[in-house]
C-alpha cells in the first residue's frame, strides 16, 4: 500500500475511534447536544387540542386549534429561567408594587408565572384561574408546577370567578390577565364590562397587568377599551416580538387621582431588582430605560386610533380582529 494512503487511512481510523468514544461518553453523562423535535404528549381537551412538545432543548405547551401556538415553554436544564419575553416583562411589576400579598392570575399555561411569583414572594397568596382542567394536569405532570395552600388553582371560567369574587368583595394587590395566546382570545375577557369587574377587585394601590399583542386590527379596539375603563395606561411594547403589556398602577383610582411616579425612586428600585431577579434572565436595565420614556402615561399621545370602537359584551369580535391587519 502506498505510504501516503496508509497514513490517511490510519488517521481516519483514529478520528472515527475518537468520535465514537466521544459519543459514548456524552451519552453516558447525558450531555450530548440534541435538537430533537418530538411530541411528548397530545390530547384533545374540552377546549383545545393540547400538545407537549420537546424542541430545541425546550419543553413547550401548545394549543393547536388551527396552528401550533406556544402557550408556555420551559428550559429543563434551567427551569427557573423565564423563556418568554412577556414573562420577563411582567417582572417589571415589582417597579410599581414591591410586595404584593394577594395576587390573581387569569390563565395558567405551564404554571411559569405563579411558580416564579411564589419563589419571589413566599408569603404571598396566589390564586390562578384556569378554565381547562387538562392544562392544570399537564402543568403538574410536565412543567413541575406544584400547588400549595398559598399557591392554588381554581378551575373555572375567569368571567364567572371574577363576578363571584366581586360579589364577595375580594381584593387583590396584583392582577395579571394572561389568558390569551397567539391563536385564540377568550372574547368575553376583553370587554368593557369584564374590565370593570376586574377593576372592582383592586385596591387603590393595586397594579393591573394585561399580556396582549401589538400587531393586528385588535390593537386599536383593545386600547380604546382599556382607555375607556381606566382612562390611561402604560403601553409597554416589544415591537420585535409583538409583545405588549398594559400596565396600570393604582388601577382602582380615576386617572386624575393616581399619584405621580417619581422617576428617581423608580430608577433606584430598578437597581434593587437586579439581584432579586437574578437567574430569571430579565434585562431589568433595558426595560427600565424603555418604561421611563412612557412616564407619565397620561401625557403621552395615544398611538392607536382613538375612534376605534371599544369592545363590549354586545360587540366583541376579538378573534376576527386578531387575524386582521
- Measured CA to CA, the distance from residue 13 to residue 78 in angstroms comes to 38
What is the Cα 21 distance to its own chain's centre?
43
The terminus-to-terminus CA distance of the chain in angstroms comes to 70
Do 214 and 236 form a contact (C-beta atoms < 8 A)?
no
Catalytic position from the list 178, 281, 298, 313? 178
CA angle 235, 190, 165 (to 5 degrees): 105
- Measured CA to CA, the distance from residue 36 to residue 55 in angstroms comes to 6
When computed from its CA atoms, the radius of gyration of the chain, rounded to whole angstroms, is: 24
Contacts with 119 (C-beta within 8 Å, 6 or more apart), sequence order: 80
Is 178 known to be catalytic? yes
CA distances (Å), origin 10, targets 5, 16, 92, 146: 9, 10, 60, 56
Give the max Cα distance, the chain.
93
Residues with active-site annotation: 178
Amino acid at each position: 500500500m502506498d505510504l501516503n494512503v496508509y497514513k490517511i487511512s490510519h488517521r481516519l481510523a483514529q478520528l472515527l475511534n475518537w468520535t465514537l468514544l466521544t459519543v459514548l461518553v456524552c451519552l453516558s453523562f447525558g450531555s450530548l447536544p440534541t435538537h430533537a423535535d418530538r411530541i411528548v404528549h397530545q390530547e384533545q381537551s374540552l377546549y383545545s387540542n393540547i400538545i407537549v412538545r420537546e424542541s430545541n432543548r425546550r419543553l413547550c405547551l401548545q394549543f393547536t386549534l388551527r396552528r401550533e401556538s406556544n402557550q408556555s415553554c420551559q428550559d429543563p436544564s434551567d427551569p427557573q429561567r423565564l423563556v418568554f419575553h412577556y414573562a420577563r416583562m411582567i417582572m417589571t411589576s415589582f417597579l410599581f408594587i414591591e410586595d404584593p400579598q394577594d395576587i390573581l392570575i387569569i390563565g395558567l399555561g405551564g404554571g411559569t408565572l405563579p411558580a416564579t411569583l411564589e419563589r419571589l414572594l413566599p408569603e404571598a397568596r396566589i390564586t390562578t384561574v384556569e378554565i381547562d382542567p387538562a392544562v392544570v394536569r399537564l402543568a403538574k405532570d410536565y412543567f413541575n408546577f406544584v400547588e400549595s395552600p398559598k399557591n392554588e388553582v381554581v378551575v373555572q371560567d375567569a368571567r364567572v370567578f371574577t363576578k363571584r369574587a366581586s360579589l364577595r368583595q375580594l381584593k387583590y394587590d396584583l392582577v395579571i390577565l394572561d389568558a390569551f395566546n397567539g391563536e385564540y382570545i377568550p372574547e368575553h375577557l376583553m370587554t368593557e364590562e369584564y374590565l370593570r369587574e376586574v377593576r372592582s377587585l383592586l385596591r387603590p394601590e393595586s397594579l393591573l397587568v394585561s399580556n396582549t399583542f401589538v400587531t393586528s386590527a385588535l390593537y386599536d379596539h383593545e386600547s380604546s377599551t382599556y382607555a375607556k375603563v381606566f382612562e390611561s395606561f402604560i403601553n409597554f411594547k416589544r415591537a420585535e416580538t409583538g409583545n405588549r403589556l398594559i400596565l396600570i398602577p393604582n388601577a382602582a383610582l380615576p386617572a386624575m387621582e393616581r399619584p405621580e411616579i417619581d422617576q428617581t425612586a423608580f430608577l433606584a428600585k430598578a437597581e434593587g431588582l437586579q439581584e432579586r431577579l437574578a437567574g430569571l434572565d430579565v434585562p431589568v436595565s433595558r426595560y427600565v430605560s424603555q418604561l421611563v420614556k412612557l412616564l407619565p402615561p397620561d401625557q403621552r399621545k395615544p398611538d392607536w386610533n382613538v375612534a376605534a370602537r371599544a369592545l363590549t359584551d354586545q360587540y366583541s369580535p376579538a378573534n376576527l380582529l386578531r387575524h386582521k391587519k
